[in-house]
């Protein structure tokens, strides 16, 4: 894959964008969520998710870069990732709590909780081994869609197929940029997939 394309896919499939992508997909693909949540509440959800899972983590990373705590936004070394991972997990837990306060199905807060747990796991693993947070993010998307395909009446086949294809493209782009080894790519995807699949499956069945 050309380096330019690899960089492009690394940006548009950044892990911080995954929660927003999934919730936007659910609102436009699943009629139950679309019709049971008012447009006003949907906008509130989008604002909460955009601020806590993307905007605030990016601002925090920019501040860390300005202070010299990290050398680049790529955070290539494991040591640079500790503070961004911890703060990002904190923002995700805040998002989870805020969504729990809204009169909406628990599915939305649950998938954000899964993302928060995935970030915590990434931080813990990162203390010993550099794992691909990009693949954890896209793996979480696949895990979410796979869990929903088992739980909801609406078929999630095409979103699931597309997300799997994008996972392959993203994994290839990370290898092209020499950001990770194949093992770090596969393990990242597996962790993201299992966390969301197991969490959504368990909470939605036993709630």
Q: Where are the domains of the chain?
A: 3-206
138, burial (CB in 10 Å: exposed 0-12, middle 13-18, buried 19+):
buried
Q: What is the pLDDT of residue 128?
A: 84
Q: How far is CA 51 from CA 27, 35, 115, 125, 198, in A?
A: 18, 24, 15, 26, 26
Please list the helix, strand and coil fractions of the chain in percent, rounded to the nearest 5, in that order.
80, 0, 20
Q: What is the pLDDT of residue 64?
A: 82
Q: What is the pLDDT of residue 34?
A: 67
Query: What are the structure tokens assigned to 38, written together?
Result: 């008012």
Task: Give the span between the Cα atoms of 40 and 48, in whole angstroms.
Answer: 13
Q: What is the pLDDT of residue 153?
A: 57
Residue 129 DSSP one-character state: S
3-class secondary-structure state, position 153: coil
Task: Give the span between the Cα atoms of 92 and 15, in whole angstroms.
Answer: 12
pTM of this structure: 0.88
> What does pLDDT average to in each consecutive run of 10 residues of the chain (207 residues)?
84 92 84 75 93 93 79 65 88 95 88 94 88 93 89 75 94 88 94 93 63
Task: Give the span between the Cα atoms of 92 and 18, in whole angstroms.
Answer: 12
Query: What are the structure tokens assigned to 89, written together?
Result: 């997990």
Q: What is the pLDDT of residue 152?
A: 67
Q: Are 20 and 54 in contact (CB under 8 A)?
A: yes
Query: What are the structure tokens assigned to 72, written together?
Result: 């680049």
């Amino acid at each position: 894959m050309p380096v330019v394309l690899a960089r492009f896919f690394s940006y548009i499939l950044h892990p911080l964008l995954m929660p927003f992508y999934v919730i936007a997909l659910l609102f436009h693909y699943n009629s139950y969520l679309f019709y049971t949540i008012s447009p006003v509440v949907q906008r509130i959800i989008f604002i909460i998710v955009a601020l806590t899972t993307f905007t605030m983590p990016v601002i925090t990373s920019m501040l860390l870069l300005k202070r010299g705590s990290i050398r680049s936004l790529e955070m290539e070394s494991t040591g640079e990732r500790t503070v961004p991972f911890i703060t990002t997990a904190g923002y995700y837990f805040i998002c989870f709590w805020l969504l729990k306060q809204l009169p909406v199905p628990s599915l939305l807060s649950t998938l954000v909780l899964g993302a928060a747990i995935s970030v915590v796991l990434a931080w813990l693993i990162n203390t010993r081994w550099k794992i691909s947070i990009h693949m954890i993010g896209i793996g979480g998307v696949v895990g979410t869609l796979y869990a929903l395909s088992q739980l909801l009446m609406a078929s999630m086949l095409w979103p699931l197929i597309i997300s799997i294809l994008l996972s392959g493209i993203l994994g290839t782009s990370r290898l092209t940029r020499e950001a990770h080894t194949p093992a770090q790519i596969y393990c990242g995807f597996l962790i993201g997939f299992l966390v969301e699949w197991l969490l959504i499956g368990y909470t939605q069945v036993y709630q």
